[in-house]
Structure 1
């Protein structure tokens, strides 16, 4: 049985989405001439500032496009649904974001993205544009702690990009922006639960199967397997399970501060997210941890997948300042 979507043709969905985003946010975004998959912040790039370029496959909105704007990312390269952008739009983004102080590439740790962004970086080096790369690896379910460099980048991107973008906006050097990005990544932890699959615009068929009364702990944002599949549990039980794994790895002390993200994977409504947030707050309070800032909603989705993820960033003074730094993006603001 095919799923239902408000699209025209599956093969045109990404480009028509981009047209719509540019229509809705003309004061924030524009596309590079002749390169509709290279989206740039109108008030982001400037001379002497390190440029921040993010990107990846479509289907995760508002990641990545929603975080392009002043004080955060300067540009985003857009791929097909769940597929890496090719080198050309990445190069166009970096060229537009380049203010003479170098460019930082940031994206989730997926093989296709690594290949294409690395290729773009090699080509940009021929034009004397220095590029550094920091991969996000916040998904604690995707590999053991001892192999963190193999983990996936998921909803924690929001906080990691935010810290790096603030460092760029504050005029940090390329060395310092790279340091901040790596530091933010090492202190960000995400784990999620999937309740139902999503379907690609081209196929209109579920991209994985899960039983009516089942859930999968740790599933990736493209439908990658998690760490366990079992009977559907209550919101409190799910939050406890996810937080147990996160807090065990984070090893925070009483009195420490965190930034919290309770994220919908696509179709999970705000009612359910706030029920999860209630339990997250209870558990963090019991652990003696202070919530400095919290985000609840759709931040890193997987089309219409049902489920949610919880992210904690373990703050220190520097990360707190960077998370608080103002930004004005098409789909995200901090003041």
Structure 2
């Protein structure tokens, strides 16, 4: 299967720079896989498609302000992009032009807060030691929200709220599980009153989410790894839901990856490098809530595996014609 088969035309002006407010007022494209129909709604009207007994599975990861803008002692600017915590104050990070730095060199980030280069790795990655009397406090004080590059603007204070789901709980992501951004507390309460159960998984979204596929033969693409964890309570709820013939509704591709990793391996915790592309046998997920994804990306491959490539590309072309807003801060899609 060729990567070029998953391309589509997208005008730059349809890439959303900010989300609509309130969160649940964005547009919702509804895809019915059985009847091959496409409907156009508002996100809060998702209540018309969910039924009592369904389970909504959400990713409760929380985005950290991972971009640390620092400088060398010479004054030269340098950015340390935190990827994941190794232990205590040691972090794996991405540093542009890391080859120009020496191990042991200090990068000053703020007053009483700096990063020491411990080890250089490949692909611009490095191990850094964060030096501060309160590292967590200073990450939040000096760090910037890591907006995806296609948003093409600097982060603002408001992004600390906008780029976080209302149910975000466990810190560790460097990108938001954006399908969850459309839910408000009020909408979640309404769904609960309708008898729709809610369950959580944790998958810390990594920078690999934006990693382009560089090979035309998609079977040769190596997927990035991300940490996931599925609580026993969620596993039990899924089993009960399936047994009663009700639907497991994944909120976002990160939830799909966590659940289908469990479906494939039986493991409820670990590193997931599952690569979902057509054809794929989904063992757990019945319905998917997602955003619109980049052309030729691992995410458009995943939704194509779920809904069918031709149907997805037809829907995306219609979304462009109807001026939907794309990507992280954009509109949503419900695939039934």
Q: TM-score range with shorter-chain normalisation?
A: under 0.3
TM-score (norm 1): 0.27
Q: Which has the higher helix share?
A: 1
**Which of structures 1 and 2 has the bigger CA Rg?**
2
Instruction: Using CA pairs under 8 Å that are at least 6 residues apart, name the structure with larger relative contact order, 1 or 2.
Output: 2
